[in-house]
Structure 1
Amino acid sequence: MKAFPINQNDAGQRLDRFVKKVAPSLPGGLLQRYIRIKRIKVNGKRAENNTILSPGDLVELYINDEFFPPEETSPLAFLAAKRELNIVYEDENLLLADKEPGLVVHEDESGERDTLIGRIQRYLYEKGEYDPAAENSFSPALCNRIDRNTGGIVIAAKNAATLRVVNELIRERLIEKYYLCVVFGHPVPKEATLKNFLLKDEREKLVSVFDQPRPGARTAMTKYRVAAENDRFSLLEVELLTGRTHQIRAQMAYAGYPLLGDTKYGTAALNRGTGWRFQALYAYRIRFNAGERAEHLSYLNGRAFQVKQVPFTDIFPAF
């Protein structure tokens, strides 16, 4: 038997979802059965699948050890990540990090251990704000993600309540996200909203763009404004009105203005000799516009946060 005292970060979850986190190898059907026959209890009593846990509750699991993570599994795997972290803003609930191009946000199929979330967890652990041994089901987590080769602001939640609220605000488009990018050519008009339909190929990790709806395609809306120009390139400020995979890269290329450094939606020939290893795209600014939906984050309403330096803006001396 293992017992789990419910803390603030565990509270608010359904019992079955909590159990899946602490006993990830327990099959769903067996989980339901164990709740029904009282091998999973809350405060010593029978509970339901959808029982909402509160701080101070005690969850008791009378199940085999094989369903729990191995004891030798290190909860400090994030110590393999580097310490380098560029913090745009931080308070007791969240942290805004400026991710460098080339850094993955989470461990991917490559097995890379130096990730943005690893760096954030290491930082919070070393400053005493995160203790894995004191947590049952929560660890600091990212609320949004950006591509490996894109730089810019990523939001990390320090507690479960913040993770829940920020995820909801992002879904409801109540956190405004602005990008800067460099494109080949000079867009006409200088300011517009692109509306297309994007179809993602999961195997090829590539997005196709269409003018008309088709099965499986999702609406994508991107607002852009030309901020500066030179003889070959334009610097655009872009606001995402929807959040689709590779949205800016795919839509701008489809419009005839591929991003500098982007060989997936542009071409290698076009980029030859430019010296750019990554696409010139940066999530440089966010603004909280959540009103009452912000809940305990209401102090952020109306506030905007911006990175100090975007690597490619020096191409445009007048900017």
Structure 2
Amino acid sequence: MREIIVNKNDGGRRLDRFLKIYFEKAPLSFIYKNLRKKNIVLNGKRAKPEDIIDEGDRIKLFLSEDTINKFKKDIKKSKNSKLPNILYEDEDIILVKKPVNMLTHNDISIYQDNALDRMVDYLIEKGEYSPRLEKSFRPAFVNRLDRNTSGILIGAKNLKTLQILNEAIKNREIKKYYITIVSGNVKSDFDVDINLVKTKNNVMKKSSDQGKRSITKFHVLKNRGGYSLLSVNLITGRTHQIRASLKEKNLFIIGDRKYGDDKANKIFIEKGLNSQFLHNYALVFESDKLKNLLGKKFIYLPGEKMMHIAEEIFDVNLGEILNEKNNF
């Protein structure tokens, strides 16, 4: 028999959802069968899948250790010891600077360096998170950036904060701003409001009646030499949203090898640009449930190579432009 005492990060979940995370390798049929046979009980009583667990509740598993260990989730250790580059941190939230050519989280069976594992390792080292004590919660990011898009990742250290941040994003109370350079002379601001669907080759395309609604606002900062410097306000957060939305306007981000223009890209690859010029440079928090952050904005400037290319094309100080209040 094994007893689990529910902690604060697990309270408020349905019992079956908690057990599905705890028994990561088990099918739901295994969980439902053992609840029905009373091999899993809650506070000494028969439990139902839909029961809501609270902090301090006791879940008893009348199962052999071999069975528990067979289905229990593994405590995964990353192979990376590098600390994340932190923009802001408090007891609940951490803002991490993600560079170009880093995954937000590992998404294949072969381990790759990623921002999430760096953040989790950092919190373990600080003593703010212990995977051996947590039964189902793991610190997480509430936004995602493509490997070749740099910017700010928003991390939640506990379940309550994760729920608040997810709600704030859903209610559009966290404003996300990007900087990009496109080939073409864009003369005025514009919005793109389309439905995007994913094709077989993982490319997002416009659809009239399918997919997810994607809303993006574009603000012109500078024009010069056949290129335009744009500030982007991401209203919704879809896969490849900015890149696909610009393509619908026949505008192509320099360096973008999936949606971009090969001829324009070649020029900048030769200049050392090894990714699309797309960077999430600012966040503005407007949720009254995030007391420490309400009304605050955070700015993270692009890397040195991007800064140099932008200043070479437009003959401007990009840092000064991105810090101006009228960009928000």
Look up the match of 1:198. 196
The answer for the alignment partner of 2:19 in structure 1 is 19
Paired residues of 1:26 and 1:67 also in contact (CA < 8 A) = no
The Cα shift of 1:110 comes to 6.4
Confirm or deny that 1:55 pairs with 2:55.
yes
Q: What is the match of residue 28 of structure 1?
A: 28
Q: Deviations 1:4-50 (Å, cap 9, x if unpaired)?
A: 11111111111111111111233223322322332111121122222
Q: How many residues align?
A: 309
What is the distance in 2 between the residues matched to 1:68 and 1:158? 27
Structure 1 residue 72, shift from structure 2 partner: 11
TM-score, normalised on structure 1? 0.90
Structure 2: segments with no counterpart, 5+ residues: 319-328
SS in 2 for 1:148: coil
RMSD of aligned residue pairs (Cα, Å): 2.1
Tell me the CA shift for residue 73 of structure 1. Answer: 7.9
> Hey, what's the Cα distance between the residues in 1 that align with 2:102 and 2:169?
22
Asked if residue 149 in structure 1 is aligned to residue 143 in structure 2, the reply is: no
- Residue range with higher mean Cα deviation, 279-288 or 48-57: 48-57
CA contact (8 A) 2:183 2:253 kept: yes
Moved more, 146-155 or 125-134: 125-134
Change (3 A) 1:187 1:27: same
Task: Indicate whether 1:230 and 2:227 are aligned.
Answer: no
Q: Deviations over 1:93-149 (max 9, x none)?
A: 010011001001111236233111111111111122121111111111111111011
Match of 2:258 in 1: 264
Is 1:209 aligned with 2:206? yes
Q: How much has 1:65 moved relative to structure 2?
A: 4.5
Equivalent AA in structure 2 for residue 161 of structure 1: K
Task: After TM superposition, list the pairs within 5 Å mapping 1:130-145 onto structure 2.
Answer: 130-145=129-144
Trace 1:1-319 onto structure 2 (pairs within 5 A). 1-65=1-65, 68-70=68-70, 75-78=75-78, 80-109=79-108, 111-188=110-187, 190-201=188-199, 203-210=200-207, 213-214=208-209, 216-275=210-269, 276-291=273-288, 294=289, 297-311=290-304, 312-314=306-308, 315-316=310-311, 317-318=315-316, 319=318
Give the C-alpha shift of residue 159 in structure 1. Answer: 0.7
* Separation of aligned partners in 1, 2:198 and 2:74: 36
Match of 2:322 in 1: none
Conserved in 1, the CA contact under 8 Å of 2:14 and 2:52?
yes
C-alpha distance in 2, partners of 1:122/1:55?
25
Q: Secondary structure at the match of 2:162?
A: helix
Q: Match of 2:281, SS?
A: strand
Deviation digits for residues 232-290 of structure 1 (CA, Å, limit 9, x no counterpart): 32111100122211111011122121001002111322211312210100111111112
Instruction: List runs of 5+ in structure 1 lacking aligned partners.
Output: none
Superposition TM-score, scaled by structure 2 size: 0.88
Q: For structure 1, which segment, 223-232 or 275-284, has the greater mean C-alpha deviation from structure 2 after superposition?
A: 223-232
Name the amino acid aligned to 1:248. Answer: I
